[in-house]
């Protein structure tokens, strides 16, 4: 049963390891679950789920596993059975096997039995039980001494019910982000390298060198390290992007505040990039795209933000630009390719969820730039592409 739970959790995408799972077995055996599914819920979570972003997945896994069986799931019986016939998850590494042996199952089993016997004789008090504050761990308000106590500490609601509340849904990392989260993601965009400029005193080296020099002070200098990343942020504003204004604003303000870029520039566009890009959101002041392209080279990264949702001719036809008085000589798609050719380390962030990326223009753009969702996970993946630690893959044409 416990092994099933382990695989069930993994099935929900939780990266539970055997070491963590063995910790849970040990905690149960020394009496931590108090045979209460509520306590078990928290115990299993604090030992096996290490990110609050995964809490929601855990809740769903827990609810679906215990739904329907919660009334006849007896933790103590299950544990006794497991301790006498330890069934293990497959494929144990040597290290894990060693950990299991260190656990000394026989001793644990004896201790657990003792705990149970002791409990059958005495129904109250008992400070051998951790964290109970002197309460009787077993049989609290129930008839069977080892029965699962449901609803005890949770205010009349079962652990499964609490899990189905999905209180941690807001902490999922695939949700949209706030400024600080974006700022943190952008921090990943740090590539430290030796830089020119005034040298700094290297204290550790100085001490080492002085020591080797029989105590005569020998000062050592070294060039400082600086971030090399140059980022151009291009944001789609207006039209279908209006619902995403707040999100884009947050990305913008986080990028603007991040002071670790060697160079940072931003421009705005409407639907697609043409011969002019704008320096303000209202798109009054502009700069020729060709001028901007001249400033760029392969050391720059370009990050485009937009829903890539437009009429196909806006992308593929000359004169297709959305603004009526604007006749473009070069197609939008060609402008995008120019950016890509100039700066191969470039990505497109889409505030729309991936499941609705089905417009033909989205498909075309994904052949030019790798596209990511504007969520924590998407941004992190995208930034890994910019840093060159994840392969830069656009769709095959």
d(CA 194, CA 344): 23
Region of 178-186, 277-285, 310-318, 367-375 interacting with another protein (CB under 8 A): 178-186
Closer by beta carbon to another protein, 68 or else 131: 131
For strands 300-305 and 200-201, give the pairing: unpaired
**Taking CB under 8 A as the rule, does residue 191 contact another protein?**
no
**Residue 4 CB contacts under 8 Å (≥ 6 apart), including other chains:** 65
Beta bridge partners of 19: none
Residues in the chain: 397
**Taking CB under 8 A as the rule, does residue 248 contact another protein?**
no
3-state secondary structure of 193: strand
Nearest-approach distance from CB 27 to another protein, in angstroms = 5
Region of 12-20, 66-74, 324-332, 357-365 interacting with another protein (CB under 8 A): 12-20
Burial class of 342 by CB neighbour count within 10 A (0 to 12, 13 to 18, 19+) = middle
Region of 203-211, 267-275, 340-348, 367-375 interacting with another protein (CB under 8 A): 203-211
DSSP conformation letters of 273-303: --SEEESSTTS-SEEEHHHHHHH--TTEEEE
Region of 75-83, 123-131, 315-323, 327-335 interacting with another protein (CB under 8 A): 123-131
**Taking CB under 8 A as the rule, does residue 80 contact another protein?**
no
31 in Cβ contact with 129 (< 8 Å): yes
**Taking CB under 8 A as the rule, does residue 146 contact another protein?**
no
**Taking CB under 8 A as the rule, does residue 158 contact another protein?**
no
Closest CA to 13 of 47, 73, 46, 60: 60
**Residue of 1, 8, 23, 228 interacting with another protein (CB under 8 A):** 23
Nearest-approach distance from CB 329 to another protein, in angstroms = 41
**Taking CB under 8 A as the rule, does residue 161 contact another protein?**
no
234 in Cβ contact with 273 (< 8 Å): yes
CB-CB neighbours of 320 under 10 Å:
21
Task: Name the site residues for another protein (rule: CB under 8 A).
Answer: 15, 17, 19-20, 23, 26-27, 30, 32, 39, 42-43, 45-47, 49-52, 55, 127-128, 130-133, 153, 167-168, 171, 178-180, 184, 187, 207, 210-211, 215, 246
């Amino acid at each position: 049963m416990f092994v099933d739970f382990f695989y069930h959790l993994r099935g929900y995408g939780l990266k539970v390891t055997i070491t963590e799972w063995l910790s849970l077995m040990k905690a149960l055996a020394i009496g931590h679950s108090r045979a209460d599914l509520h306590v078990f819920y928290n115990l299993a979570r604090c030992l096996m789920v290490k990110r609050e972003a995964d809490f929601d997945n855990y809740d769903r896994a827990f609810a679906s596993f215990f739904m329907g069986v919660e009334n006849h799931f007896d933790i103590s019986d299950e544990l006794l059975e497991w301790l006498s016939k330890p069934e293990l998850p497959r494929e144990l590494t040597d290290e894990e096997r060693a950990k299991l042996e260190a656990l000394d199952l026989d001793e644990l089993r004896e201790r657990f039995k003792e705990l149970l016997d002791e409990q059958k004789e005495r129904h109250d008090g008992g400070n051998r039980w951790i964290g109970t504050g002197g309460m009787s761990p077993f049989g609290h308000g129930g008839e069977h001494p080892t029965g699962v106590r449901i609803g005890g500490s949770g205010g009349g609601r079962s652990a499964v019910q609490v899990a189905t509340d999905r209180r941690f849904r807001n902490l999922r990392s695939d949700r949209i982000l706030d400024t600080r989260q974006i700022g943190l993601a952008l921090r990943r965009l740090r590539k430290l390298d030796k830089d020119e400029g005034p040298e700094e005193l290297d204290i550790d080296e100085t001490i080492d060198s002085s020591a080797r020099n029989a105590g005569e002070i020998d000062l050592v200098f070294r060039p400082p390290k600086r971030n090399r990343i140059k980022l151009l942020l291009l944001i789609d504003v207006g039209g279908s992007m209006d619902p995403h204004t707040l999100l884009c604003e947050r990305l913008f303000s986080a990028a603007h505040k991040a002071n670790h870029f060697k160079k940072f520039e931003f421009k705005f566009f409407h639907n697609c990039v043409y011969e002019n890009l704008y320096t303000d959101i209202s798109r009054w002041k502009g700069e020729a795209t060709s001028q901007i392209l001249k400033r760029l080279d392969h050391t720059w990264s370009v990050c485009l933000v937009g829903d890539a949702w437009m009429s196909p001719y806006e992308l593929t036809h000359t004169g297709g630009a959305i603004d009526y008085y604007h006749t473009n000589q070069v197609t939008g798609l060609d402008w995008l390719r120019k950016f890509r050719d100039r700066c191969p380390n470039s990505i497109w962030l889409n505030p729309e969820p991936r499941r609705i990326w089905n417009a033909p223009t989205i498909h075309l753009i994904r052949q030019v730039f790798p596209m990511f969702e504007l969520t924590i996970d998407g941004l992190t993946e995208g930034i890994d592409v910019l840093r060159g630690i994840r392969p830069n893959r656009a769709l095959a044409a």
